[in-house]
Amino acid sequence: MMADTALSDQVDSGKAERVCAWCGADISQRHARTKFCGVNCKQSSYRRKMGKEGRLKNQAYNKRYYAENANRLKAQQREWNDKNREHRKIRDKAYYEANADHRRKKQREWLQRLKRERPDEYREHLLGQRERQRRRDAQAALSMLILPIEEPSQ
Ligand SMILES: [Zn+2]
């Protein structure tokens, strides 16, 4: 039981029906068999169980496995996402609303880790974010141009 980390996340695990076995976040909205709030907590728990040596070995194995099967795994993930889009949307929204502060904290941690461990991907992420913001701005600017424009007389 990870009561200490649950407290540090300011999640009241006493009130939640089911909580993440690693960080204590409320996962009542998740599938009944779900034990963790996300893949990071699942991995953390698994790695602690394995100890340092097994942890390093497993990290190396996972890295190689992912590299060797990246396309297949990504296709699999995409297919699953497409099939479960609506369900995911509802579930993720409920989950995010119940754990907004916790998720923001997680997101910050993830960004910091990305910046530290994979600076290239971090830069890409920032560029993507800027690109999305640029597109939103362009759309907003376009929607303000609905006034008819007078043709220049010749
Ligand atoms: Zn968790």
**What pLDDT shows up at residue 68?**
93
**How far is residue 123's CA from residue 140's CA, in Å, rounded to a whole number?**
26
The total number of structural domains in the chain stands at: 1
Residue 135 Cα to ligand 1 midpoint, Å, equals 33
User: Considering the domain boundaries, does residue 122 fall inside one?
Assistant: yes
Tokens linked to 118: 């994979």
| Residue 117 buriedness (CB in 10 A; 0-12 / 13-18 / 19+) | exposed
Mean pLDDT of 95-120: 92
Residue 139 Cα to ligand 1 midpoint, Å, equals 36
Angle between helices 39-83 and 85-98 (to 10 degrees): 150
User: Considering the domain boundaries, does residue 152 fall inside one?
Assistant: no
User: Considering the domain boundaries, does residue 151 fall inside one?
Assistant: no
User: Considering the domain boundaries, does residue 149 fall inside one?
Assistant: no
**What pLDDT shows up at residue 22?**
92
Show the domain range for 62.
Answer: 3-142
Whether 9 and 102 have beta carbons less than 8 Å apart is answered as: yes
Mean pLDDT of 10-30: 75
Residue 23 Cα to ligand 1 midpoint, Å, equals 4
Residue 55 Cα to ligand 1 midpoint, Å, equals 19
User: Considering the domain boundaries, does residue 150 fall inside one?
Assistant: no
**What pLDDT shows up at residue 5?**
45
Mean pLDDT of 24-45: 89
**How far is residue 11's CA from residue 24's CA, in Å, rounded to a whole number?**
7
